[in-house]
């Protein structure tokens, strides 16, 4: 029979990825890293690379812990749930603590002919919808990247044994 893992056993595998993704989100919240980085190159590139490295580390660590490939995918989903929820909460905090960041979006919409109150309401609704969507999307991305990285690293581990 399969023994159920405790949260601390799962956390040992996903810890680094959660710290990387949430740490970048916090840096962006407090220091507007993405906005400043966009002046040099598109910040989404750094975000995508950090996401791949963070969730990819789950595959590597999971194989070192001798986990099965499907378990590693589950660990990636757990990490995605945690980081998605943390990111959504950071988004809500950002909406209320730094309203000037959303003012630019509001001004662009008003210049395009939209009603300011309606746009502000839609932004607020979007921030709260993100509380549900972000963990779900990140769980899928985390599971996929962790699973793929475990397949890639599995080949590397097998080559080392030869």
Count: domains in the chain: 1
Q: Which of 9, 30, 8, 11 is nearest to 19 (CA)?
A: 11
Q: 133-146 pLDDT, tens per residue? A: 999 999 999 999 99
Q: 48-96 pLDDT, tens per residue? A: 999 999 999 999 999 999 999 999 999 999 999 999 999 999 999 999 9
Largest CA distance in the chain: 66
Residue 23 within any structural domain of the chain:
yes
pTM attached to this predicted model = 0.89
Residue 83 within any structural domain of the chain:
yes
Residue 114 within any structural domain of the chain:
yes
Q: For residues 71, 72, 75 and 76, what is the CA-based torsion angle, rounded to 10 degrees?
A: -140
Sorted by sequence, the CB contacts under 8 Å of residue 120 that are 6+ apart come out as: 102, 106
Residue 3 within any structural domain of the chain:
no
* 35 vs 87, more confident: 87
Task: Extract the tokens encoding 84.
Answer: 């998605």
Residue 147 within any structural domain of the chain:
yes
Residue 80 within any structural domain of the chain:
yes
How far apart, in Å, are the Cα atoms of 41 and each of 28, 46, 47? 15, 9, 12
Question: Counting runs of H as helices and runs of E as strands, what totals does the chain give?
Answer: 6, 0
Residue 34 within any structural domain of the chain:
yes
Give the domain extent around 75: 8-155
Distance of CA 156 to the CA centre of its chain: 26
């Amino acid at each position: 029979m399969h023994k159920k893992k405790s949260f601390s056993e799962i956390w040992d595998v996903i810890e680094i990825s959660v710290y990387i993704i949430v740490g970048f989100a916090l840096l962006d919240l407090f220091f507007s890293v993405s906005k400043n980085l966009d002046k040099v190159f598109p910040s989404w590139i750094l975000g995508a690379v950090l996401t791949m490295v963070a969730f990819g580390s789950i595959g590597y660590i999971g194989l070192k812990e001798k986990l099965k490939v499907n378990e590693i995918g589950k660990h990636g989903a757990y990490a995605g749930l945690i980081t998605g929820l943390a990111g959504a909460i950071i988004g809500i905090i950002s909406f209320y603590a730094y309203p000037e960041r959303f003012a630019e979006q509001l001004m662009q919409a008003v210049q395009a002919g939209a009603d300011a109150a309606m746009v502000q309401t839609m932004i607020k609704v979007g921030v709260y919808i993100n509380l549900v969507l972000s963990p779900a999307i990140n769980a899928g991305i985390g599971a996929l990247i962790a699973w793929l990285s475990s397949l890639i690293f599995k080949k590397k581990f097998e080559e080392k044994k030869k």
